[in-house]
Amino acid sequence: MSETKLINSYLDKEFSTVDKFLSDLDSVTADLKTATDNANLELMEAQKRNVAARKSAVDLLNSNLERWRADEDIVNNIPQYQDEFKQLLTQLNQQFPIKTPIFSQLETGFSKLVNLAYSKNLLSYVSKIRDGAKLVEKHISAKDFEKALAVQNGLLETEETLNQISLDDSKSIPVRNTALKTLYYFNKNIRGKLQAFLDIQFREFFESAEWPVKTLQPKFYPQFVLLFEKYLSTEINPAISTLSGPLASFKILVEPIDLRFKYHFEGKAVTNRVDKPEWAFHHFLNIIDSHFGFLAGPVTEVLNKSELFADRNGVYEFITAFLPSIKSKMFSLFEEVSDSPNLLSHLVYETVLFDNALKEKYYYLPYGKKVWKGVAGELLSNANWFQKWLAVETESATERYLEIETAPNAFEIDYDAVDPSETAPTISAVNLKDLLETITDHYSSLASVRFRLRYFLAVQVNLLDKYYARLVESMEAFDSMTSGFTRAVGGVSKEDMQLVTGINGLERLCRIYGSLNYISYFLEQWGDEEFFLQLWHDITTLSGSKQTLDQTSKDAIKAVTQHAVEGTVFDETNTGYKELCNRVENAIVNLLKRELQHSMKEYFKKSDWAELTELETSESAVLEAGVSRQLAQPVKHIGTLFAFLERFFGVADYTRVRRRFTRELETYFWNYIIGANRFAAAGGAQLYRDVEALGASKRLQQAARLLALPESSSASASEGDVSASALYSAVVAADFERLEAIKQQLGIDLTLEDIRHLLDRRADLA
């Protein structure tokens, strides 16, 4: 079927007639027109509503701006108006979805309004201050202090407000700067005029009271208290003060003292000497001592009654006011002596002593400070000055160290330096220890941990390292000569051999040991002292902090802390000393072994232990002090060595070395005498006398006693006699109960293996 037929068929089915089709079409058209008209009407009404809302928002903003401008107290209401402005901007944003320049213009305008309000308010404060200054000038001219003071007091709230404005980061920079300038104007033209008026009265009072030539007498106290109270009433409130330094009331108090100080130490007076900075310090301390009662009494009492200064101390405030003179003197003196090492070192040393005197005698701490770095700390805060001083200190300490090390008697043993129960040091070790303690006094009061650390490493640790290197060198020389002749290498003279053998070699090693041991002991003691514990705490704290450190400080901290998390500042250094000390002790034991081997060559060749008889062993003509003939000289030689060691070593050190030698002696006898020979009872008895004379170990003496047992008992075992045969029978029969009984009877605790070995060495039991 064609498309035409299909269309006609559809139309015939849906619209039976043309009239009906046209009628339906008109109905649809009318519905569409009605819908369109309704949509247009709604759109127009929405637009009207938007325009009205926008107009309402803008009108509300304008009305608020007018209200804000008209507010006489706008400054106090600014926080509220800022909140309202933010809400209005939010409403405008809702009405104007697309951001327009009007928003930034509004924000800029509001900001200007706020700044203008602050400026207008600030100008009112400025006007008050200037008017007040004129009144103060008028009253001061009329010598009416009370009225002038009343003007100042009436402006204190204004001063506090200006201070708050100057510190408020939300204020514009011009506003803050104006506030600061006005505060300065207040201090100069109001407070300053009041204080200048009182300065004149104080000077007249000082003249009548002969201050400071004489200590203020009690009869002058009432007049002083009245003046001082007035002066305190002119002081700036410390809670709002941005100024540092002493109270003005104490500046006038030290003014005549400063004049006398300048006369003595800044002019041409004989007391002004570059080599005597301590004279200025002593003068300062004498002034404080002379007036201490007055400062701690009436002056402090007035402070304690003051509302603003009740927590102040008259002595501390006086020191704070007087210190600028001493600082100025020392700063100029430092520059003057900076090229003279001795004078520079002396200056800083005396300055440190002065700081210590203030801290320890008066417990001085400037008001509001947790730490006072002292005059020395301020001097050395200049990096160049500190470096110059440190170089001088290092050079001076090194020179003194070299004098100690190169002295003819430097490494002689000083038996009188310690208690007889302690290991003796050398003279150089004692002198080095004294030098190190003196050095600690030079820098212990420096407040800066960086200064203390750098001094500690550059001077103290440096000297300890030098001494350690010197002792290492001595030990290396000893080892070199020892290895030369022990390997039978040519070139080792007889004289050199004598230096490292016998009593000479032993004393040489003991000198090294005594030096190391003495310094190591004090390194441990110092490490536990409060100053060095605090230094370690400061170093580890600084190491873990986020402070910006220079590379020198970083390297210094790393040098101390790289191998330890907990410990002391001396641990790294002391580790080296202890290790070398152990090495020297080993060398001492090895020397004793060599002396044993060399002196007992003939004894070790002795092989007649099985042939000795009771008659032979009783002939004292053949034996010296009961020992074998071949052992007489070795016993004497070894005895001489140990007599020296017993005098040199402390009890603990001697006992340890003696035990180590005894173990070596036991090994030699067990391997080269007992293990290489067979014994008759008489031979065992002789061996017992020999090892007892050498002070051998308990095990070796028990072995000799077992070898000395008679082959058979003349009585029964139950009667208390023990024979080698009885012991042998118990071992062979594995009669352990009987074996234990025999051991208890003999008083020995040898192992079964040892007993079997010893019985095997008996010639009469083979």
pLDDT tens digits, 693-721: 998 899 999 999 999 898 876 533 443 46
Same-domain check for residues 225 and 289: yes
Q: What average pLDDT score do residues 670-679 get?
A: 92
Q: How far is residue 200's CA from residue 213's CA, in Å, rounded to a whole number?
A: 19
| 632 in Cβ contact with 625 (< 8 Å) | yes
Same-domain check for residues 561 and 610: no
Q: What average pLDDT score do residues 384-392 get?
A: 93
Please compute Rg for the chain using Cα positions: 50
Q: How far is residue 74's CA from residue 70's CA, in Å, rounded to a whole number?
A: 8
Q: 12-16, 83-87, 460-464, 568-572: which has the minimum mean pLDDT?
A: 12-16
> Tell me, what's the pLDDT at 363?
93
| 467 in Cβ contact with 576 (< 8 Å) | no
Specify the 3-state DSSP secondary structure of 72. coil
Query: What's the Cα-to-Cα distance from 288 to each of 233, 655, 666, rounded to whole Å?
Result: 25, 58, 73
| Percent of the chain whose pLDDT exceeds 70 | 76
Tell whether the model's pLDDT for residue 365 goes beyond 90: yes
- For residue 650, name the pLDDT band (cuts at 50, 70, 90): very high
Long-range contacts, stretch 645-651, CB < 8 angstroms, 24+ apart: 645/506, 645/510, 645/588, 647/415, 647/424, 648/413, 648/415, 648/423, 648/424, 648/510, 648/514, 649/423, 650/421, 650/422, 650/423, 651/421
Query: What's the Cα-to-Cα distance from 79 to each of 75, 82, 145, 170, rounded to whole Å?
Result: 9, 5, 41, 12
Residue 202 tokens, joined: 């104080």
Query: What's the Cα-to-Cα distance from 418 to each of 76, 134, 411, rounded to whole Å?
Result: 79, 79, 16
Through-space distance between the first and last CA atoms of the chain, rounded to whole angstroms:
141
Task: Report the half-sphere exposure of 622 (CA within 13 A, side-chain side).
Answer: 8
H or E stretch at 446? none
- For residue 172, name the pLDDT band (cuts at 50, 70, 90): confident
In a domain, 431, yes or no: yes
Tell whether the model's pLDDT for residue 530 goes beyond 80: no
In a domain, 105, yes or no: no
> Tell me, what's the pLDDT at 109?
61
Task: Report the half-sphere exposure of 545 (CA within 13 A, side-chain side).
Answer: 12
Residue 522 class from Cβ within 10 Å (0-12 exposed, 13-18 middle, 19+ buried)?
middle
Q: How far is residue 494's CA from residue 497's CA, in Å, rounded to a whole number?
A: 5
Nearest to 423 by CA among 652, 662, 660, 643: 652
Residue 177 tokens, joined: 């700067």
> Tell me, what's the pLDDT at 619?
36
Q: What amino acid occupies position 515?
A: S
- What is residue 549's DSSP assignment? -
Nearest to 228 by CA among 216, 240, 239, 238: 216
Same-domain check for residues 464 and 508: yes
- Within 8 A by CB and 6+ apart from 669, the residues are 691, 696, 700
In a domain, 352, yes or no: no
Same-domain check for residues 630 and 707: yes
- For residue 183, name the pLDDT band (cuts at 50, 70, 90): confident
Tell whether the model's pLDDT for residue 629 goes beyond 80: yes
In a domain, 353, yes or no: no
- Within 8 A by CB and 6+ apart from 728, the residues are 759, 762, 765
Q: 299-313, 446-460, 513-527, 547-561: which has the minimum mean pLDDT?
A: 547-561
Three-class SS string for 267-333? Answer: CCCCCCCCCCHHHHHHHHHHHHHHCHHHHHHHHHHHHHHCCCCCCCCHHHHHHHHHHHHHHHHHHHH
Q: How far is residue 348's CA from residue 334's CA, in Å, rounded to a whole number?
A: 8
- What is residue 717's DSSP assignment? G
> Tell me, what's the pLDDT at 125?
81
Number of other residues whose CB lies within 10 A of the CB of residue 115 = 14
| 182 in Cβ contact with 236 (< 8 Å) | no
- For residue 9, name the pLDDT band (cuts at 50, 70, 90): low
Q: How far is residue 513's CA from residue 586's CA, in Å, rounded to a whole number?
A: 11
Q: What average pLDDT score do residues 736-755 get?
A: 91
Q: What average pLDDT score do residues 120-139 get?
A: 86
Q: What amino acid occupies position 747?
A: G
H or E stretch at 21? helix 18-70
Query: What's the Cα-to-Cα distance from 514 to each of 295, 422, 424, 471, 645, rounded to whole Å?
Result: 54, 10, 6, 11, 11
Tell whether the model's pLDDT for residue 733 goes beyond 60: yes
Same-domain check for residues 604 and 582: no
> Tell me, what's the pLDDT at 202?
93
| 423 in Cβ contact with 653 (< 8 Å) | yes
Same-domain check for residues 577 and 613: no
Q: 108-122, 258-272, 357-371, 497-511: which has the minimum mean pLDDT?
A: 108-122
Domain that holds residue 48: 3-99
In a domain, 331, yes or no: no
Number of other residues whose CB lies within 10 A of the CB of residue 210 = 12
> Tell me, what's the pLDDT at 127?
86
Angular region, 216: left φ>0, alpha ψ -120 to 50, beta rest:
beta
Q: 23-32, 80-89, 490-499, 596-605: which has the minimum mean pLDDT?
A: 23-32
Same-domain check for residues 575 and 610: no
Q: What phi and psi values does residue 274 have, to the nearest 5 degrees? A: -70, -25
- For residue 159, name the pLDDT band (cuts at 50, 70, 90): confident
> Tell me, what's the pLDDT at 565?
47
Give me the chain's average pLDDT, please.
83
Same-domain check for residues 579 and 469: yes
Give tens-digit pLDDT for 282-323.
999 999 999 999 999 999 999 999 989 999 999 999 999 999
Q: Where are the beta strands (DSSP E) in 56-164?
A: none
In a domain, 314, yes or no: yes
Q: How far is residue 397's CA from residue 461's CA, in Å, rounded to a whole number?
A: 11
> Tell me, what's the pLDDT at 719?
36
Q: Which residue has 């001492």 as its token pair?
A: 588
- What is residue 237's DSSP assignment? P
Q: How far is residue 501's CA from residue 496's CA, in Å, rounded to a whole number?
A: 9
Give tens-digit pLDDT for 560-590.
555 444 567 888 899 999 999 999 999 999 9
Which of 308, 323, 338 is where one domain is finished? 323
Residue 452 tokens, joined: 């203390």
Same-domain check for residues 518 and 654: no
Q: How far is residue 351's CA from residue 328's CA, in Å, rounded to a whole number?
A: 13
Which of 323, 349, 378 is where one domain is finished? 323
Q: How far is residue 393's CA from residue 399's CA, in Å, rounded to a whole number?
A: 10
- What is residue 731's DSSP assignment? H
Q: What phi and psi values does residue 762 have, to the nearest 5 degrees? A: -80, 125
Same-domain check for residues 478 and 615: no
Specify the 3-state DSSP secondary structure of 493. coil
Which of 323, 353, 383 is where one domain is finished? 323
Same-domain check for residues 20 and 147: no
In a domain, 375, yes or no: no
Residue 208 class from Cβ within 10 Å (0-12 exposed, 13-18 middle, 19+ buried)?
exposed
Tell whether the model's pLDDT for residue 621 goes beyond 50: no
Q: How far is residue 594's CA from residue 500's CA, in Å, rounded to a whole number?
A: 11
| 343 in Cβ contact with 273 (< 8 Å) | no
> Is the peptide bond prior to 212 cis by the omega test (within 30 degrees of 0)?
yes
> Tell me, what's the pLDDT at 452?
85
pTM for the whole thing? 0.71
Q: What average pLDDT score do residues 514-539 get?
A: 87
Long-range contacts, stretch 242-247, CB < 8 angstroms, 24+ apart: 242/163, 242/166, 242/183, 243/187, 245/320, 245/324, 246/317, 246/320, 246/321, 246/324, 247/309, 247/312, 247/317, 247/321
Within its chain, how far is the Cα of 159 from the centroid?
43
- Within 8 A by CB and 6+ apart from 93, the residues are 103
| Percent of the chain whose pLDDT exceeds 90 | 49
Q: How many domains does the chain have?
A: 4
Q: 61-65, 160-164, 280-284: which has the minimum mean pLDDT?
A: 61-65
Residue 616 class from Cβ within 10 Å (0-12 exposed, 13-18 middle, 19+ buried)?
middle
In a domain, 125, yes or no: no
> Tell me, what's the pLDDT at 38?
58
Greater pLDDT, 399 or 93: 399
Same-domain check for residues 438 and 555: yes
Give tens-digit pLDDT for 413-438.
999 999 999 999 999 999 999 999 99
686-720 as b/e: b if 16+ CB within 10 A: bbbbbbebbebbebbbbbbbbbbbbeebeeebeee
Largest CA-CA distance found in the chain, in angstroms, rounded: 171
